[in-house]
Amino acid sequence: MHSVCSNGVQQKGKMLSDAQLFDLEFEKLVSELTEQDFTDPVLTDALNRLREVLRYNAPGGKRNRGLSVIGSLRELVSPSELAPDEVHRALLVGWCIELLQAFFLVSDDIMDASLTRRGQPCWYKKEGIGLDAINDAFLLEGAIYRLLRRHCRGQRYYIHLLELFTETSFQTELGQALDLMTGVYKVYLLQVQSHCEIQNRILLLLSPCGCRHFDDYLDCYGDPTVTGKIGTDIQDNKCSWLVVTALGIMTPEQRAELEACYGHSDAESVERVKALYDTLELPIRYHQHEEESYRRLQKLIQLHAKNLPPAVFLNFAKKIYKRNK
């Protein structure tokens, strides 16, 4: 993937990388949404709130999703044929993806009662925010379609783009519904094993590139100083890849131990579950699964990427392979 813009954006005589262009685009969209769209003084406080919501929740992540748009465009169109306005739209659509992710994360943190996100307190945990964060999540989602309408409405792919965003939202929300159901009903693992296995397969299909198991592993074994998030899947009774895998290989005695501890928030129960995971060698099994999944993904890309350059998909696969955050 080309990482440097080769068609015209310079700053102080230097060509800017796509990541630098991406950062600049964010500043432009914040200004557009909070300073240029509305002039009614009655909306001043609301727009200031929107600015704060955008700056706190949209940046700070890995940005793989957002940068994949401009990266894919550079694989599809040669530098000599790539117009500056096309680069601008790719950067903007990339940020719309990041805003969609921010919308999901703000909402998910409330539902999961999470404490930290991207190395800082979750938005709803900030003083004076609380459940007002629900409306802030709506603001993030609404900003997406305002930006797309303004910058992409005249493009022939506009309707397809809108459908892609709305369908992705719906599928993600279905996955979240399944995720919440496990915690809401607090059913014994013995009774929900089959449901969990089905749910895990569905979520794998709904998640971008099947990244679910990566996130589940990092929730338990990731370093919070690197991931920026304190994992709570065990406490929240989540039907994660780890617990589904454990259920398939454990003894009846180990199962009884898991049922006694899983879904409890006290530190002793959490540590007992993690000790059980270690006894079952789940970290080793995960890394084996990661290697197998990556090889299978490479083969699928080579087999099915007929109309698009395989590099479009391989570049993204490389970004999520062996990630630690």
148 lies in the same domain as 198: no
Domain that holds residue 220: 173-325
pTM: 0.71
Neighbours of 313 (CB within 10 A): 21
Buried b (16+ CB within 10 A) or exposed e, 122-158: bbbbeeebeeebeebbebbbebbeebbeebbeeeeee
pLDDT of residue 294: 81
Does the pLDDT value for residue 274 go beyond 80? Answer: yes
149 lies in the same domain as 236: no
210 lies in the same domain as 118: no
266 lies in the same domain as 177: yes
Q: For residue 131, what is the domain's CATH number?
A: 1.10.600.10
pLDDT of residue 192: 36
Does the pLDDT value for residue 31 go beyond 70? Answer: yes
* Region 129-157 average pLDDT: 95
Q: How many domains does the chain have?
A: 2
High-pLDDT (> 90) share of the chain, %: 41
Is 163 domain-assigned?
no
Is 246 domain-assigned?
yes
28-31: which pairs have CB atoms within 8 A and are 24 or more residues apart? 29/92, 29/95, 29/143, 29/147, 30/54, 30/55
Average pLDDT, the chain: 81
112 lies in the same domain as 195: no
- 20 with 3: CB under 8 angstroms? no
Is 167 domain-assigned?
no
Tell me the pLDDT band of 307, cut-offs 50, 70 and 90.
confident
* Region 194-219 average pLDDT: 51
15 lies in the same domain as 119: yes
Is 178 domain-assigned?
yes
